[in-house]
Every structure is written in C-alpha cells, then in structure tokens.
Amino acid sequence: MKHNIYPDDYVASTYDIDFAALAKQGYEGVIFDVDNTLVPHGAPADERAIELFQWLHNLGYRVVLLSNNKEPRVKSFCEKVKFATYIYKANKPSPKNYRIAMENMNTTVDNTIFVGDQIFTDVWGANRAGIRSVMVKPVLKWKEEIQIILKRFIEALVMIPYPLYEKKGNCKKVPLIQKNVEKDGEA
Ligand SMILES: [Mg+2]
C-alpha cells in the first residue's frame, strides 16, 4: 500500500486517458470523482461525459461516481451519464467508500483505477485504499469558491516536488489517447 499522498500519475484531463488500453491491461473498474474531474464544479453532465461513460460501458467497465457532494447533485449527474452507480457524501479521504465502490463493482485494488482532481481528498483516499490513483487538472478552476481556490494553492505547493518523485520512477503512467492519430483518421 502506498503511504504517501502523491498520485500514481498526473495528467491534463480525464478525457486524455486511454481506457481501452487500460482495459487490455486488465482493468475492469473505474471510480471517478465528479466535480472538476468530469465537468466543472456543479455543472450537469455534458456530451463529452455522456460519450465517455458510453465508451467505458462498451469496454466492459463497471463505474462508480464517488463524490463528497450531496445526493441531488451526484444522482442527477449519474442519471444523465448512465452506466454508473454513485456514492454521495463519500467522506473522502476516508478509504471506506472506495472499498464499498469496489465491492459494488466486484473488482479489487488490482483491476480498479481512480480518477480525481484533488490531492487531499481524492488521491489520498485512493492511496489509503490501495487503489491506483490518477490526478487530473481541474476542468474549470477559475469559477470556484474562495476556499477551494485556497486549497488549490496549497495543493500546487505540495505538487512542486512531484516531477522529482516522478523522475525517481515512483509513478505508474496511464496510457493516453493519441490525439494526432485520431485527427489523421478523421482527415
Ligand atoms: Mg473534484
């Protein structure tokens, strides 16, 4: 189990992650944070999110939304993306609900991956539960409340040594979608 708070990988966006490649590696379950990981804070599911969940479903994944937000927000998001279940007021970074999410998906720490945007809730909780953690840059950070902005500032400070941590070979890189290849295909 990892005892630090750093993510296994830190990527620009949830939508850059190549879940098809991860499925080939044996991954069967994905746990997502919602706010700022899939859409801006409080925003409804958009076309991009709906397509992602359809894609994950087609790949055979089970998906759980794990949010510290209240039920109406998480439930309505879940209903719109479909193909997922949800846990609200998840009390991250407690590892408890990460474990319940895995139970619900019938997956283990070996074939589950977590994606979230905050170190002290999302990533720390996943690490404590022993789940591979991917941190993403927040979808829209400039519209946030002041206390979240302050938290992000502290997070940014904590992430300063991360490139060194990465360099030492501590990270487990996720495959990313090759966007140039896609563009060539469309042309
Ligand atoms: Mg979030």
Q: Which residue has the tokens 């990533």?
A: 123
The CATH code of the domain that includes 121 is: 3.40.50.1000
Q: Which two tokens stand for residue 163?
A: 């490139």
The answer to whether residue 179 is domain-embedded is: no
Q: Which two tokens stand for residue 5?
A: 């708070």
pLDDT per position as a tens digit, 133-187 = 999 999 875 566 777 778 888 999 999 999 988 888 888 899 999 876 555 544 4
Q: Print the domain residue range for 39.
A: 9-167
The answer to whether residue 173 is domain-embedded is: no
The answer to whether residue 181 is domain-embedded is: no
The answer to whether residue 142 is domain-embedded is: yes
pLDDT band at 2 (very low <50, low <70, confident <90, very high): low
Residue 186: the pLDDT is: 47
Using the mean position of ligand 1's atoms as its centre, give its distance from the Cα of residue 91 in Å.
13
Q: pTM, whole model, 2 decimals? A: 0.90
pLDDT per position as a tens digit, 30-86 = 999 999 999 998 999 999 999 999 999 999 999 999 999 999 999 999 999 999 999
The answer to whether residue 180 is domain-embedded is: no
Using the mean position of ligand 1's atoms as its centre, give its distance from the Cα of residue 185 in Å.
33
Using the mean position of ligand 1's atoms as its centre, give its distance from the Cα of residue 35 in Å.
4
Query: By C-alpha distance, which of 31, 25, 16 is closest to 112?
Result: 31
Question: In the chain, how many domains are there?
Answer: 1
Determine if residue 89 is left, alpha or beta; phi over 0 gives left, psi from -120 to 50 gives alpha, anything else beta: left
